[in-house]
Amino acid sequence: VNDIDQLLKRPEFPRSSAYDPSWMVTNQMGPNAVWLLEWLTAEMNLSPGMRVLDLGCGKAMTSIFLAKEFDVHVHAADLWIGPDANWKRVVEMGVEDRVCPLRAQAHALPFAHGYFDAIVSIDAYHYFGTDQLYLGYAATFLKEGGQIGIAVPGLMQPVEGEVPEYLSSPQENGKVFWERECWSFDTAERWRERWERSGKIAVERVDTLDDGWRHWRDFEKAVEIAGTSPFPSDAEALDKDQGRTIGFIRAIGTRTSEESMDLYDPTIGVRLGVEE
């Protein structure tokens, strides 16, 4: 067993342990998406044949995992990563009958209202979903009773005033953990508040991952050993923090009503016949 295997095969994530660690570090775009998805889906109701939207799927590892583990049909939607590269990964993993990759902008989704049984989003929702109105918009693509679940990096306590020095100053390798996008990280309380106000989703749970920082740190170490990231590792800052500030948040809710009109929808003008 090499160092990477030792870091990435862990009892907390038994399903993930069946996947090749080098596949995970090669296709990673942040903290281990497969672990986060395993954690998320442990509390979601996915059954064979369901239609699932993987929103912000990155390199589609999570879409492949969903198809393999739950035998669901996945639309693997991402903005930065195009469908051609993702299709290759899908075919390589033998799930081409269940995963459809496409490029999509989360704020202008090209699907029919009520189409999906579930939406999942791993380490992506904070890039486009911190707007108070976004959840209500995303919910319109779920059928009544459909679930949305997200797992995102987040705050274990609010950052008030100054960011802790060890997060905002360079580590020994020169990398600064707290980049501008970290201001989109929120506490579980703040996510709960935002979701409860959406009006279209009944919130089932918002919670944090036990030892999230430790899993993140160890994944950073594995990626560093593998040399598969364009960025230096964040392990040192995460280790100094010991989970006081940084961890992972999971939020799951259910679509409550059939009513689908949403004023946040970019096509609302067309729908109402008022577009000039």
Binding site for ligand SAM (CB under 6 A): 29-30, 33, 56-58, 61-62, 78-81, 104-107, 122-124, 127-128
- Residue the block writes with tokens 């369901």: 50
Residue nearest to ligand SAM (CB): 58
Nearer to ligand SAM, 29 or 46 (CB): 29
- Smallest distance from ligand SAM to CB 205, Å: 20
Q: How many CB atoms lie within 10 A of CB 171?
A: 19
Please, are residues 247 and 189 in contact by the beta-carbon 8 Å criterion? no
Closest contact distance (angstroms) between CB of 123 and ligand SAM is 4
Q: C-beta of 57: minimal distance to ligand SAM in Å?
A: 5
Least separation in angstroms between residue 179's CB and ligand SAM is: 12
Q: Smallest distance from the beta carbon of 70 to ligand SAM, in angstroms?
A: 17
Q: How far, in Å, CA of 126 to CA of 23, rounded?
A: 25
Q: What is the distance between the alpha carbons of residues 134 and 55, in angstroms, rounded to a whole number? A: 13
Q: Can you tell me the distance from the alpha carbon of 235 to that of 201, in angstroms, rounded to the nearest whole number?
A: 36
Those residues whose C-beta lies under 8 Å from the C-beta of residue 141, and which sit 6 or more positions away, are 53, 109, 111, 112, 113, 114, 115, 116, 119
For ligand SAM, which is the closer residue by CB, 228 or 256?
228
Question: Is 43:19 a contact under the CB 8 Å cutoff?
Answer: no
- The smaller minimum CB distance to ligand SAM, of residues 61 and 159, is found at 61
Cβ of residue 276: shortest distance to ligand SAM, in angstroms? Answer: 26
Q: What is the distance between the alpha carbons of residues 132 and 190, in angstroms, rounded to a whole number? A: 11
Task: Please report how the helices 61-70 and 33-41 are oriented relative to each other, as an axis angle in degrees rounded to 10.
Answer: 40
Least distance from ligand SAM to the Cβ atom of residue 160, Å = 26
**Min CB(23)–ligand SAM separation in Å:** 12
Q: Which is nearer to ligand SAM, 111 or 196 (CB)?
A: 111
Report the distance separating Cα 218 and Cα 182, nearest Å.
20
Nearer to ligand SAM, 20 or 144 (CB): 20
Which CB sits closer to ligand SAM, 123 or 241? 123
Closer CB to ligand SAM, 9 or 107, in the complex? 107
Q: Which is nearer to ligand SAM, 41 or 62 (CB)?
A: 62
Residue linked to tokens 């993702």: 86
Q: What gap in Å lies between CA 221 and CA 16, rounded to an integer?
A: 17
d(CA 221, CA 60): 22
Q: Which amino acid is at 54?
A: D
Distance CA 77, CA 56 (A): 6
